[in-house]
Structure formats: structure tokens, C-alpha cells
């Protein structure tokens, strides 16, 4: 029988739980920050960034899709992989294309997620915390 969605996607839910535990990621994105001063948002973003960066570096090895820097001129060859390179702007004609790199992209070269225990409830991304007197 097919797995329920929370079991099928347990690794993704586990990643969200780790980002919450280390960086309070979910708290940050669930908060409406529009009313807060920029300085407060920036201070919170530093904390979230530090914790989330730690999780990403612990479980994923990343590298840019293209090694050039943003703003550099690049050539997109004939037969390029459209999942790795997205063309924007005035796309006409046939490759090779010459253009300006706007974002170098990211690709994972290694994934090191821990296995998710069947005893864990994967839908619980962060338990409620109750402080007792």
C-alpha cells in the first residue's frame, strides 16, 4: 500500500524540523514582519541565517551550477540542461547563447540526511513548549 504523505515526505519534514530547531526558520517565516522596523528584522534574520546555514552545511553539500560570478558574461552551449540553466530575457534563436549570469544556481552534490525513525511523528515540526512553575 502507498505510504501516507507524511511518511513519504518524512525526510523533507525532518529537514524543516531541523531548520526550526537550529534557526527558528518556521517561526520567522510565519511571522508577519511588515510592521517591524528593518533593524529588528535584520537582527532576527542573522539568528535565523546562522542556524539554518548550520543545518544546510551539516546535511547537504552544495556547489554552484555555473562557477562564474554573478554579473559575468557566460556562454550557454547547444544541448544545455534546461533543469540546470534557465534562460530569461530575450530568448530567441538557437544556442549557443551569450548573456549575463544573474544567479549561479545551486546543485547538491551530497545528501546526508539521517533516517527518520518510524516512531517519530513526522508532521510535528516543533513541539509546543510548556514551562512549568
C-alpha cell at 25: 526558520
Instruction: Looking at the structure, tell me whether residues 2 and 55 fall in a common domain.
Output: yes
Rounded Cα gap, residues 97 and 76, in angstroms? 5
Rounded Cα gap, residues 52 and 125, in angstroms? 14
Which is it for strands 73-76 and 97-100: parallel, antiparallel or unpaired? antiparallel
Instruction: Looking at the structure, tell me whether residues 8 and 43 fall in a common domain.
Output: yes
Domain around 33:
1-61+111-123
Per-residue pLDDT tens, the chain, 133 aa: give them. Answer: 888 889 888 989 999 999 999 999 999 999 999 999 999 999 999 999 999 999 999 999 999 999 999 999 999 999 999 999 999 999 999 999 999 999 999 999 999 988 888 888 999 999 999 999 9
pLDDT at residue 24 in the model: 96
Measured at the CA of 49, the angle between CA 57 and CA 85, to 5 degrees, comes to 65
Q: Single out the residue of 52, 57, 49 nearest to residue 110, CA to CA.
A: 57
Measure CA 23 to chain center. 13
Global pTM reads 0.82
Peptide bond before residue 86 is cis, with ω within 30 degrees of 0: no
Q: What is the DSSP string of 92-103?
A: -S-S-EEEE-S-
Is position 132 within any domain?
no
Number of domains in the chain: 2
Amino acid at each position: 500500500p502507498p505510504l501516507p504523505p507524511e511518511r513519504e515526505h518524512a525526510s523533507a519534514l525532518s529537514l524543516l524540523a531541523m531548520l526550526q530547531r537550529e534557526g527558528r526558520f518556521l517561526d520567522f517565516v510565519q511571522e508577519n514582519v511588515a510592521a517591524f522596523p528593518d533593524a529588528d528584522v535584520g537582527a532576527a534574520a542573522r539568528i535565523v541565517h546562522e542556524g539554518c546555514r548550520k543545518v544546510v552545511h551539516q546535511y547537504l553539500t552544495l556547489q554552484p551550477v555555473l562557477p562564474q560570478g554573478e554579473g559575468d558574461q557566460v556562454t550557454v552551449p547547444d544541448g544545455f540542461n534546461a533543469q540546470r540553466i534557465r534562460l530569461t530575457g530575450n530568448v530567441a534563436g538557437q544556442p549557443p547563447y551569450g548573456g549575463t549570469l544573474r544567479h549561479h544556481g545551486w546543485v547538491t552534490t551530497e545528501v546526508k540526511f539521517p533516517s527518520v525513525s518510524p516512531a517519530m511523528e513526522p508532521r510535528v515540526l516543533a513541539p509546543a513548549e510548556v514551562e512549568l512553575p
